[in-house]
């Protein structure tokens, strides 16, 4: 994958690395594919999408916290 990414601009390479990181960690914590797609679209919008971008992160964080709490209560 890095060979493929090496032929693109540095900015896209950095986004590619970020996306790999994002995809792994967010998906591992249960973020829906729909939210991942929205997250990426808002990331690409830059400053124009920052409020919605942060809202998706906040919502996901709250969902993960609720799941952790539920799991702890049921151990």
What's 36's DSSP letter?
A: H
Residue located via tokens 């390479």? 13
Across 56-69, average pLDDT: 91
* Closest to 25 in 3D by CA, of 51, 54, 57, 2: 57
3-state class (DSSP) for residue 41: helix
Please tell me the predicted confidence (pLDDT) of residue 43: 77
Q: How many CB atoms lie within 10 A of CB 38?
A: 17
Please tell me the predicted confidence (pLDDT) of residue 17: 73
Q: How many CB atoms lie within 10 A of CB 53?
A: 20
* Domain edges within the chain: 2-73
Q: What is the pLDDT of residues 4-22, one digit of tens each?
A: 334 444 555 566 676 677 7
In the chain, % of residues over pLDDT 70: 76
Q: What is the pLDDT of residues 32-47, one digit of tens each?
A: 888 888 877 887 887 7
Question: pLDDT category, 69, cuts 50, 70, 90?
Answer: very high
């Amino acid at each position: 994958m890095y060979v493929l990414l090496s032929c693109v601009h540095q900015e896209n390479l950095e986004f590619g690395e970020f996306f790999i990181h994002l995809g792994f960690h967010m998906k591992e914590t249960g973020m829906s594919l729909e939210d991942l797609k929205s997250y990426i679209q808002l990331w690409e919008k830059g400053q124009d999408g920052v409020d919605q971008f942060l809202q998706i992160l906040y919502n996901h964080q709250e969902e993960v916290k609720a799941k952790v709490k539920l799991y702890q209560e049921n151990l």
